[in-house]
Amino acid sequence: MPSGLPINHHELFVYTKKVNSNKLIAAIEDKAPQIIKIAHILKDYGFLCYVVGGSIRDLLLGRPVSDFDLASDAEPHEVQALFRRTIATGIEHGTITIRMQGRSFEITTFRTDGDYADARHPESVAFVRNIDEDLARRDFTINAFALDPISGEFLDLFGGISDLFGHEKPIIRAIGKPEERFAEDALRIMRAARFAAQLGGSIEAETLEAMHSLASSVSRVSVERIFVELSKLIASKDPIYGMQCLYDIGLASLWGFATATEASQISPETIQRAIELLAKTDDVRVRWALMFMPFDSSERATAALACAKQLKTSKAFRVELVHILSCAEQSLPALSDPSAIRHWLAQVGRAHAKSLWALQCLWSDAHVEKAAEEAYELPAEIHAELDAPLSIAELAIGGAELKAAAIPAGPHMKAIFAEMLEAVLTDPMHNKPEELIALAKACYNR
Ligand code: ATP
Ligand code: MG
């Protein structure tokens, strides 16, 4: 084994920094044989076809490939003419989706991007005949590989292989002048932090400096796209690096994450603690919630709501985050008290119990000495209560039974049901029709 090379399974593909294209092609054939077919069709008609971008990066790293992107000198109308089933996904940018055997593949005509008027979208794109220019418009060296899946020609024009494998960690380095590339498209600032987090990499110094100086231009990017990047970063392998980076370049305040500004009462140490806790859980809900834990307990839910609204997240995401943070205001139940556990479960909901337990244990530093996997697991005492009746819907009787027992519907119902639930939470043995009816009658006649 030559020295200086990382030893693990990407040796399959990269040996003494030389890429083994045959192995890459075999991997593509295995994961998406349609690509070989598509490339053959294009080649038969005299066009070029490369597998490009993130898919090659992920294959090289042995990561799951989310989507295979193709690039060709064929123009969109030529692609449409060659394939039976196509969708004009982004025809103005040269992208056509080819449907084949139940799968979709995006193919984009080699292009360069025109001027970026608004740090968001190129004003125009120009199709070009050669792939070099197309690769040069891409964001980072590790995203600019191209492989011809028929001939095995492998292109790495910007030193991406060296950035991926030549150092202890993958290096995220902008292609060309970082300042210019981020000024063209500010989303790349977020992407850099996200890729570093996902790949367990680090950002090259000049690239990082440019991110810092242009950070404020991220506010011009659509919040939906920011949210996608932020979500990927938070769910990543190394969320600490990614989040620290966003804080360091001053982006965290943009979405109302807890920041230690002069005006706020939050100390840098508290924020640091939240960031460092991110890696202690795989639960993405807990990771999001952690970013708001440095706030005063009464302010967390409000801050998270403002952030989620600003990022135009789904309602489900927003409701869940706010619910978790509101519940985190209260302390966890004593494990020796089953009734307290059931009351707590009724309030937080079975579906959120695990997240809340982990969040609050993490934040309070409880169990800190235990191994991460077991420390924040829901304890057996709580598991034991998960099957207990916890809501009005789970009571042994409902409105119909009360009516049959001569308790008519009316405004008093709310109090009656609350009282029945309270009795059942205190002791599930009370969840019997005759007992509950007696209780309801007593309550009604009071
Ligand atoms: P993932 O699919 O995990 O998000 P990816 O690298 O495949 O990562 P995509 O958004 O799918 O990212 O884009 C595919 C390729 O297109 C990238 O690898 C990169 O070469 C190029 N690309 C995407 N977005 C940009 C951008 N904002 N600026 C420059 N090039 C980009
Ligand atoms: Mg992709």
List the domain boundaries for the chain.
Answer: 1-168, 173-250, 276-361, 392-444
Percent helix, strand and coil across the chain, each rounded to 5?
55, 10, 35
Model pLDDT, residue 234: 97
CA dist 314 and 244 (Å) reads 25
CATH annotation of 173-250: 1.10.3090.10
Q: Return the CA Rg of the chain.
A: 28
pLDDT value at residue 18: 76
CATH number for region 1-168: 3.30.460.10
Helices (H) and strands (E) in the chain, counts: 22, 13
Strand 86-90 to 69-72 pairing: unpaired
pLDDT score of 408:
86
- The reported pLDDT for the residue numbered 7 is 39
* Bridge partners of residue 69, in order along the sequence: 52, 106
- End-to-end, the C-alpha distance of the chain in Å comes to 85
* Ligand having the closest approach to the CA of 198: 1
Distances (CA, A) of 313 to 223, 227, 283: 9, 7, 18
188 lines ligand 1 (CB under 6 A): yes
3-state SS, one letter per residue, for 155-172: EECCCHHHHHHCCCCCEE
Ranges of beta strands (E only) in 5-90 are 14-15, 18-19, 49-52, 69-72, 86-90
**287 Cα–ligand 2 center, Å:** 24
Alpha-carbon span 123 to 433, nearest angstrom: 70
- Cα 437 to ligand 2 centroid, rounded to whole Å: 60
156 in contact with ligand 1, CB cutoff 6 A: no
Query: CA-CA distance, 189 to 211, in Å (whole number)?
Result: 6
What is the DSSP pairing of strand 103-109 with strand 69-72? parallel
Evaluate: CB of 163 within 6 angstroms of ligand 1: no
Which ligand 1 atom is nearest residue 67's CA?
Answer: 2
* DSSP class per residue in 336-366: T-HHHHHHHHHHH-HHHHHHHHHHHHHHHTT
Q: Is the CB of 184 under 6 A from ligand 1?
A: no
Residue 214 phi, psi dihedral angles, 5° rounding: -110, 10
Q: Reduced to 3 states, what is the DSSP secondary structure of residue 435?
A: helix
399/420 Cα distance (integer angstroms): 12
- In this structure, are residues 6 and 13 in contact, taking their beta carbons and an 8 Å threshold? no
Please tell me the number of Cα atoms within 13 Å of 321 on its side-chain side: 25
Instruction: Specify the DSSP element, H or E, that contains 18.
Output: strand 18-19
Distance CA 132, CA 111 (A): 10
181 touches ligand 1 (CB under 6 Å): no
Handedness of CA 265, 217, 234, 312 (dihedral sign): positive
* Chain-centroid distance, C-alpha 151: 36
User: Tokens 């205001």 appear where?
Assistant: 329
Residues 6+ apart with CB under 8 A from 358: 281, 283, 286, 376, 377
Classify residue 432 as left (phi > 0), alpha (psi -120 to 50) or beta: beta
Q: What spacing in Å lies between the alpha carbon of 280 and ligand 1's midpoint? A: 29
Residue with tokens 């110094």: 205
Ligand 1: does its nearest atom lie under 6 Å from the Cβ of 445?
no
Which atom in ligand 1 lies closest to the alpha carbon of residue 185? 27
**Ligand 1 contact via 108 beta carbon (within 6 Å):** no
Provide the token pair at 127.
């199709």
424 is written with which tokens? 């059942």
Say which ligand is closest to the CA of 121: 1
- pLDDT lower than 70: segments of the chain: 1-17, 115-123, 262, 366-375
Measured distance CA(390)–CA(394) in Å, rounded: 7
The pLDDT, as a whole number, for residue 115 is 66
Distance (Å, whole) CA 185 – CA 183: 6
Tokens describing residue 10: 């990407």
The pick from 97, 112, 134, 143 for probing ligand 1's pocket by mutation, whose C-beta has the most ligand atoms within 8 angstroms, reads: 143
Nearest Cα neighbor of 174 from 214, 230, 146, 147 is: 214
Q: Determine if ligand 1 sits within 6 Å of the CB of residue 138.
A: yes
Q: Which of 141, 155, 139, 75 is nearest to 108 (CA)?
A: 75
User: At residue 434, what is the residue type?
Assistant: E
